[in-house]
A and B are shown apart, each in its own frame.
Chain A
Amino acid sequence: MRAAPSAVGEAAEVARPVGIGLTLPRSASLTEALLAPATCTVQASELQELRALLLGELPRLVEELPPKERLQIGAYELAVARDHPERCALQRDGFVPSPARCRRAVGVAAVERCVRGRASTPHTAVAEVLNSGLEDLAAAARAQGGQLPPWWAQWYAGLALGGRATVQAEAVTWATQLWTALDWCRFGRPPVIGGRDDWWECPGRRSLVVRGRAEVRVWAGGRPVMLVVASGFPGIGWRAELAQRALVVALARGENPVPARVVGLWPSSGLVRICEVDAAALFEAAAALVSAVGTWVDALVGLRHGEPVAR
């Protein structure tokens, strides 16, 4: 596995306070944490340095990729490279939808309906989102234009009642966890739920795309703030995992402000982690990105040559 460049690696040593306590109701504490004023800033010169560092490292790493190979790195790929590098070579199968894989897509759309006042509960909203997906699919099939059907609609339409119930149940559970996690009345203007993913394409001869995703985006003190919902519980790499979302925004959005913080919520464990975004956090995320890209490139090149992947 390739090591991160030392200059980037050294930036990862900074430690800051994190998380929220057990004060009840927890939705109020989490909302306050999300909306708190920014505690640190990132200078333009630091962003330039970061960009230069990545542009110096990443094109060199992906140069070894086969010409038509496209490497896309998001939170999932980062976690696989960090925790299970041996699995990188196994991740090339086609995407197969499942209840667990589409609960987020259905869930954010449902919570969005609740926040906009178009549904009173996640249970109702999820049913509406699923029905709406089927209607869009039917309209598309009749070539009537309108809304493009969501990616899961075709698969969902082919399921029997029991399968559809499982999809709905997964999405309701996911959406309810997000819906009850925040005190939605406290937001001055409605937050963006889900929203478009952030993308940054690394310039170079080979294709490398980095993706950032957040479940809730709000503004606090003139800077964006993100809430990320994750499964399980925060592992040792949680800070880089959260900062990666801000890194993609910083790289992709040019002059727009860098997020003030990224808050991670792990509903299964009830844990919250807060990453205040400063230069150190961004460099830490950059180190994790470089390391992950190296691991994935090694795996893909090894796979091409039939070699086992380093563990």
Chain B
Amino acid sequence: MRERRGALSAEALLARLRGDADERPAVDPGLAGGLRDWFEDVLGAAGGSPDAPVVRVTKETVNQVLVCEAHALSRTAMPRTVTIELARGVLVDALFRQWVTLGDIAEPWADATAAVECAGDEAVVRFIGDLDTRSRDRLAEEIREHAARITSVWPVSNPSWLARTQERLEVPLGGGRLVLSGVVDLAFGAPCAGRASVCLVELKSGARRLEHRGDLHYYALLETLRGGAPPFRIATYYSATGELDVEQVGEDVLLGAMHRTLAGSERLCRLAAGAEPARTANPLCAWCAELPGCGPGHGRAGSRVPKTAGDPTAEERVWADSPCWVEEEIV
């Protein structure tokens, strides 16, 4: 079951996150081990040398490699580029974390920048420092709007919820040759003692995009493999609009996430072993660093985007502005 509605009150938001405690599903004790075995079997059958480099799989790399292997490979070689959207996301994440932890935000811009500075994210600190006054003021205003929405809608955490923010999940497979990893913005609930008991929440400061759902499923899979039990709910909270997408986690969700992650992992392992990447035309071709030497990219017909290579800022805009293309291409 998947629910999506407009902005909520704090009580309604909490009710949707917690659901009915009596209806939380009993955990199949063999599920996590079975999923892990399945992964190990498929990845083991795919071979790979023990000396091969460790392949780190994230929600982003799975998305990229399923769109186009050549594109994914080109992104691994690119340094992290900070855009205004990325900086906003990092700052809003920091404020959300502060709100969950302290239940208090004094001055959103000062608090968020202090948090990012303290956490040592030098690239974002430098990016913000280099912004001209007008851009910085505009970003600060945006941050204040996001903070206002979070504080007005998101309930102050009760300590008994055992909220964990920015919780890292890392699942090594194949003796550590492949690592599924991710960082969940918020996890709460005690560890499972028979019934699913954990809820995962992802915060998004940008527009709704189709792949957000796949990202959540990926986190549900990781939590299942890590904790031995699936979360009972997964949710995406959009701080720009106050919307909350909530989904219950059943076997179908986990199996879907597993198939998708396996497909992506196999491709990433093959690329890491030096295989030639397959090239798949897609709407990102115009911004791909591989475009100059890519036949399918050049041949992509009907594109309304200009064919200039390697402009990640523009790419970010395409991702933000075109929420439906992924569905056409890979789902």
Contact = CB atoms under 8 A, between A and B. Distances in A.
A50 to B, nearest CB: 29
Nearest to B223: A270
Interface in A176-190: 176-177, 179-180
A40 interface: no
Contact of B102 (A98, A165, A233, A271): A165
A165 B111 contact: yes
Contacts of B176: 233, 235-236
Interface string A131-161: 0000000000000000000000000000111
A21 B33 CA distance: 9
A123 B98 CA distance: 13
Contacts of B102: 161, 165, 168
Interface string B85-110: 00000000010011011101010001
Nearest to A123: B159
A170 B164 CA distance: 8
B115 interface: yes
Contacts of B25: none
Of the candidates A124, A168, A177, A268, the one having the most CB atoms from chain B within 10 angstroms of its own CB is A268
B209 to A, nearest CB: 26
A26 interface: yes
A233 B179 contact: yes
B112 A180 contact: no
A96 B27 CA distance: 44
Contacts of B119: 98-99, 166
A163 interface: yes
A24 B228 contact: yes
Contact of B190 (A120, A123, A180, A268): A180
A52 interface: no
A22 interface: yes
B49 interface: no
A138 to B, nearest CB: 20
Contacts of A180: 162, 190-191
B114 A161 contact: yes
A169 B101 contact: yes
B191 A26 contact: yes
B29 A162 contact: no
A169 B98 contact: yes
A99 B118 contact: yes
Interface string A1-42: 000000000000000000001111111000000000000000
A159 B164 CA distance: 22
A169 B97 contact: yes
B113 interface: yes
B278 to A, nearest CB: 30
B262 interface: no
Contacts of A172: 101, 163-165
A233 to B, nearest CB: 5
A269 B226 contact: yes
B164 A177 contact: yes
B264 to A, nearest CB: 19
A257 interface: no
B210 interface: no
Nearest to B54: A235
B159 A121 contact: yes
A177 B190 CA distance: 10
Interface in A211-262: 231-233, 235-236
B43 to A, nearest CB: 16
A37 B221 CA distance: 35
B117 interface: yes
A121 B160 contact: yes
Given A162-B110, A162-B112, A180-B162, 7 more contacts: A24-B29, A122-B159, A122-B162, A162-B114, A166-B94, A268-B169, A269-B169
